[in-house]
Amino acid sequence: MEAKECVACKTAFTIEPEDLVFYGKFDVPSPKLCPPCRAQRRLAFKNERSYYKRKCDKCGKEVISMYSPNKPYVVYCYDCWFSDDWDAREYGRAYDPSRSFLEQFEELWKAVPKISLIYVRSVNSDYVNISADNKDCYMIVESSNNEGCTHCYWIQQCRDCVDTSFAHQSELCYESDDCYNSNKLFYCKGCHDSRDSYFLLDCRDCTNCIGCVNLRSKKYHIFNRPVSREEYEQFIENARLDTAAGVEALRRKFHDFAIAQPRKFAEIINAPGCTGNYINDAKNCVRCFHSYDAEDCRYGVHVWRNAKDCMDVDTSGRNSEMMYNSINTGIDTFHYVSSCVSWSSTFLWYSYYCFNSNNCFGSVGLRKKDYCILNQQYSKEDFEALKEAIITDMRARGEYGEFFPASFSTFGYNESAAQEQFPLTKGEALERGYQWEDYPRGTHGKGTIGWDKVPDHYEGFDPTHHVFTCANCKRNYLIIPNEFAFYKKLSIPVPRLCPECRHERRFAARGPNRLWHRSCMCKQQEHAHHVDGYCSNEFETSYAPGRPEILYCEACYKTEFVI
């Protein structure tokens, strides 16, 4: 154990013995920042959802980009960036041992052209970001191997989903979060192997259920009570879930019902030795949030689809091993230190936007290149010698192993994923060395129809001919043809919130990526392990103290709800 004080927030934090094992594997010193400050720093480099129209600086085409038009960087569209017309080694430079390596990296990083949006192997899916292997998708982020999905965040191997987040192998889902192997779930959260249901929370193997919580292997239930098929169908008809008013009425009723039901302290399923939240089929993942098919990871967010030995990462998956202090590292990757958005590569240090590259140090925008330092090509032997010299100098300066300084981010703090997890005001962000972006985002005042004019049915009404105005933030948005076909087929009313507000509502419902130590709230007299009627079990939960949810420990939850 090592007791430390965070150099940023001055909070005391502990380096645990298992942390030291990891640092030993990577041969990095223990970090200077506490775990939340480390996550905040990394997330400030990740713009997932702030988009602008701007011109490609190579071909002149107008594109959607993560970089606002006022940014002082050269930005290429996808086609230009991934073309063979340019080689990022043209920006290569010799390392100057008399200056700080990070300073030299910053100059290179700011000079090399940026990608408007990042995706690979997309078919008919131009407006996707930080995503790979998608087909016929529109505005999906952090997602792989999907088909026909619109406005989704973090979905894997899904088909025909709209407004769905954190879903895996699911189909025809709408406004749902954290769903696995499911079909036709609407307004659901935390469901596995379920289908044809509305407003479910934490259900498994359920079909034709409405407004239920904690059910296992049930059919035809409404608010956790069994009903006949006829009663179920009558309820659906009366509820008018094909209208906005019907959906909102049931949403309120379900919220009131769900808040009174006990829930497990964390969504951790088949995950021995794991702490955090939203963890499935994992082993020894400690303080991880959103993790499945992962092993031996620590302080990770989104460690998934065969991730092993990843520490302090935000997104490592699709065969990722030995990742440290990095963001967006996936698809057959091995051994990164402090790197960003680099896929299908091995042995990277302090590199950014590198693809299919190996043994690169402080490099930017390389594709299929090996043994580069500051984008300059070296032989294997020269690379190894210079890499060691730079690491030695960085260690002496106390920089090695630390992530890039906040000032290196090319995004405003308010454009980055950090703002979602660690909201700051403009003043606070600037004071801490982050940037802020005031360039206007989104379209306002262009709406062509008021909500009082939108009918409750699609007969003679085509929403793709209109510009809508978000009932919450007043931003304008469109319904695209694929999305309309989905709404029509499944009798879903036109959403009255813009895609951003819809995302924020689902995101807020997930709770923060933080943990608090709390106790079980179960008062069921008959539980065998209780003493004087009370359970003495404690746990780490991302439900903050004082929240209204009734939290049960694993033992009490299992006794009550798992057959």
Q: Residues near 539 by Cβ (< 8 Å), separated by ≥ 6?
A: 265, 266, 517, 518, 519, 520, 551, 553, 554
Q: How far is the CB of 9 from Zn ion (least distance, A)?
A: 3
442, 524, 534, 547: which one contacts Zn ion (CB under 5 A)?
524
Q: In angstroms, what is the C-alpha Rg of the chain?
A: 25
Q: 27: which 2 tokens?
A: 């041969």
Query: Which of 194, 527, 539, 551: binder of Zn ion (CB under 5 A)?
Result: 527
Query: CB of 58: closest distance to Zn ion in angstroms?
Result: 5
Q: How far apart are CA 220 and CA 232, in angstroms?
A: 6
Q: Whose Cβ is closer to Zn ion: residue 188's or residue 520's?
A: 520
Strand partners, 320: 307, 333
Which CB sits closer to Zn ion, 59 or 123? 59
Which residues of 332-452 form beta strands (DSSP E)?
333-337, 346-349, 358-361, 370-373, 376-377
Query: C-beta of 340: minimal distance to Zn ion in Å?
Result: 20
SS3 552: strand
Among 45-53, 170-178, 460-468, 516-524, which window interacts with Zn ion (CB under 5 A)? Answer: 516-524
In 3-state terms, the chain is what percent helix, strand and coil (to 5)?
25, 35, 45
Task: Rank residues 372 and 535 by Cβ distance to Zn ion and give the closer one.
Answer: 535
Instruction: Tell me the DSSP string of 462-474.
Output: -GGG--EE-TTT-
Stretch of 127-135, 301-309, 354-362, 524-532 lying at the interface with Zn ion (CB under 5 A):
524-532
| Residue of the chain from 373, 498, 515, 551 that contacts Zn ion (CB under 5 A) | 498
When binding is defined by CB under 5 A, the residue of 209, 247, 406, 522 that contacts Zn ion is: 522
Count Cβ neighbours within 10 Å for each residue of 164-201 and write b for 16 or more, e otherwise: bbbbbebbbbbbbbbbbbbbbbbbbbbbbebbbbbbbb
| 501 lies in the site for Zn ion, by CB under 5 A | yes
Q: Cα angle at 399 between 394 and 404, to 5 degrees?
A: 120
Considering only 39, 88, 227, 553, the residue that binds Zn ion (CB under 5 A) is 553
Choice from 472, 476, 482, 491 touching Zn ion (CB under 5 A): 472
**Does 311 help bind Zn ion (rule: CB under 5 A)?**
no
The pair of three-digit structure tokens given for residue 517, joined into one six-digit string? 């130590």
- Residue 103 structure tokens: 């300073």
Beta strands in 174-234 (DSSP E): 174-180, 183-186, 189-192, 195-201, 207-213, 219-222, 225-226
Cα separation, 138 vs 121, whole angstroms: 14
With contacts defined by CB under 5 A, name the span among 252-260, 354-362, 421-429, 501-509 that binds Zn ion: 501-509
The Cβ of residue 385 has, within 10 Å, a number of other Cβ atoms equal to: 11
If one asks whether residue 470 binds Zn ion (CB under 5 A), the answer comes out as yes
Binding track, positions 249-278, relative to Zn ion; x by CB under 5 A: ------------------------------
Stretch near Zn ion under the rule CB under 5 A, chosen from 18-26, 272-280, 407-415, 462-470: 462-470
The strand pairing partners of 373, in sequence order, are 361, 376
Nearest residue (CB) to Zn ion, 193 versus 554: 554
Report whether 402 contacts 118 (CB < 8 A): no
Residue 9 within binding range of Zn ion, rule CB under 5 A? yes
* Contact code string over 47-86 relative to Zn ion, x by CB under 5 A: ---------x-xx-----------------x--x------
Which residue type does 61 have? K
**Number of residues this chain uses to bind Zn ion (CB under 5 A):** 24
Q: Binding Zn ion by CB under 5 A: which of 111, 120, 473, 550?
A: 473
- Among 224, 482, 491, 537, indicate the residue that binds Zn ion (CB under 5 A): 537
Taking a C-beta distance cutoff of 8 angstroms, is the pair 224, 215 a contact? yes
CB-based burial label for 526 (10 Å; 0-12, 13-18, 19+)? exposed
Q: Choose one: 300-308, 329-337, 497-505, 511-519; the region binding Zn ion (CB under 5 A).
A: 497-505
380-396 helix and 101-111 helix, angle to the nearest 10 degrees: 120
Q: Give the residue among 111, 80, 73, 74 at the shortest CA–CA distance from 93.
A: 111
Q: Does 535 bind Zn ion (CB under 5 A)?
A: yes
- Smallest separation, CB 175 to Zn ion (Å): 14
Report if residue 169 touches Zn ion, rule: CB under 5 A: no
In the complex with Zn ion, which residue's Cβ is closer, 387 or 527? 527
Q: Which is nearer to Zn ion, 395 or 505 (CB)?
A: 505
Looking at the Cβ atoms of 86 and 439, the one nearer to Zn ion is 86
Region binding Zn ion by CB under 5 A among candidate stretches 32-40, 159-167, 191-199, 222-230: 32-40
Of residues 430 and 473, the one with the C-beta less far from Zn ion: 473
Amino acid at 511: G
Furthest CA-CA distance within the chain: 80
Burial class of 253 by CB neighbour count within 10 A (0 to 12, 13 to 18, 19+): middle
Which of the stretches 7-15, 307-315, 375-383, 435-443 binds Zn ion when contact is defined by CB under 5 A? 7-15
Q: Cβ of residue 26: shortest distance to Zn ion, in angstroms?
A: 21
Minimum distance of Zn ion from residue 180's CB (angstroms): 25
Q: Does 508 bind Zn ion (CB under 5 A)?
A: no
Q: How far is the CB of 144 from Zn ion (least distance, A)?
A: 24
With contacts defined by CB under 5 A, name the span among 94-102, 342-350, 508-516, 530-538 that binds Zn ion. Answer: 530-538
Binding stretches for Zn ion (CB under 5 A): 6, 8-9, 34, 37, 56, 58-59, 77, 80, 470, 472-473, 475, 498, 501, 520, 522, 524, 527, 535, 537, 553, 556
